Amino acid sequence: MSEGEFAARRVVVTGAGAGIGRAITAAFVREGAWVAAVDLVAERAAETAAIVEGPGRAFGIAGDIRASRSVDRIVEEALGHLGRIEVLVNNAAIYPNCPVLEMPDEQWDAVIETNLRGPFLMSRAAARQMVAGGIRGHIVSVASGAYKSARRGASHYCASKAGVVMLSKVLAQELAEHGIHVNVVSPGLIDVGRRGDVNPTYRETLLRNIPWGRMGRPSEIADAVLFLCSRRAEYVTGAVLDVDGGSGAGRFFLPYSRGA
């Protein structure tokens, strides 16, 4: 990455109060960017803004990406801090698990609203502002291997992540004439420090399908996001970058088929 290219870059990160979003915020701030760190939970957004270390700056913003009105307010507040938006990172998402036969309407709607409607609303608002200001900006959405690989209990999550990938590809086409890049980073299993949240058998089985042999780090997702927003990725748009230690390549858990 070229020296200093993110200095004073104006960035909005959603879901910035935890895990991967916090790491993306920290990475941009380390490179000198100014980041609006948006989270549904005000204290988390504020904590991220307080703990990330410069030379850039971070501003915590409490807000819900699911509704048009609150997205307008988030963007207004971000513009108040940043003056303009040059990069949007759609990172916020939820991932409950439930078989379709037992799925309450509310859970389906919550996942689609957070993981798909939210990125749509945020991308539209940020892109309108970029186009109006003649800003050749970047939009990066954080998907998941679930965009291409089905998993029981994750009908809503898989559908939302496949949806955000297609939303990004269409946006890449529509915004190319304005010089706006739109891409996706698709993480594999990332260690966000909440091992207790996941069924251990599920995690161990997933680990067996990672050729690299370990979980990913949030900072490794951040590196991919920064790459896609850098000059080195000038000719990359409408792309999905799998950052998953090879797990998305196929069925690594299978043995060689030759021999007895």
Q: Is 126 in the site for ligand NAD (CB under 6 A)?
A: no
Is there a catalytic annotation at residue 256?
no
Q: Is 245 in the site for ligand NAD (CB under 6 A)?
A: no
Binding residue for ligand NAD (CB under 6 A) from 52, 71, 111, 192? 192
| Closest residue to ligand NAD: CB criterion | 19
Closest CA to 14 of 157, 120, 166, 136: 120
Active-site residue among 95, 147, 157, 256?
157
Kindly state the tokens that stand for 239. Answer: 């792309």
User: Which one-letter amino acid corresponds to residue 248?
Assistant: G
Residues in region 137-166 near ligand NAD by CB under 6 A = 142, 144
Q: Is 20 in the site for ligand NAD (CB under 6 A)?
A: yes
CA distance 39 to 14: 6
Neighbours of 51 (CB within 10 A): 11
Quote the least distance from Cβ 224 to ligand NAD, whole Å: 12
Token pair 């490794």: residue: 220
Region of 4-12, 13-21, 51-59, 168-176 interacting with ligand NAD (CB under 6 A): 13-21
Radius of gyration of the chain from its Cα atoms, rounded to whole angstroms: 18
Residues in region 40-69 near ligand NAD by CB under 6 A = 40-41, 44, 64-66
Q: Is 17 in the site for ligand NAD (CB under 6 A)?
A: yes
Binding residue for ligand NAD (CB under 6 A) from 9, 11, 13, 14? 14
Q: Is 94 in the site for ligand NAD (CB under 6 A)?
A: yes
Q: Is 248 in the site for ligand NAD (CB under 6 A)?
A: no
Closest CA to 152 of 97, 101, 195: 97
Q: Is 93 in the site for ligand NAD (CB under 6 A)?
A: yes
DSSP SS3 for 3: coil
Closest CA to 29 of 2, 3, 1, 48: 48
Backbone dihedral region of 56: left (phi > 0), alpha (psi from -120 to 50 degrees) or beta? beta
Q: Strands (DSSP E) along the chain, which ranges?
A: 10-14, 34-39, 57-62, 87-90, 138-142, 181-187, 240-243
Quote the least distance from Cβ 50 to ligand NAD, whole Å: 15
Catalytic residue positions? 157
Residues lying near ligand NAD in the complex (CB under 6 A) are found at 14-15, 17-21, 38-41, 44, 64-66, 91-95, 114, 118, 142, 144, 187, 189-190, 192
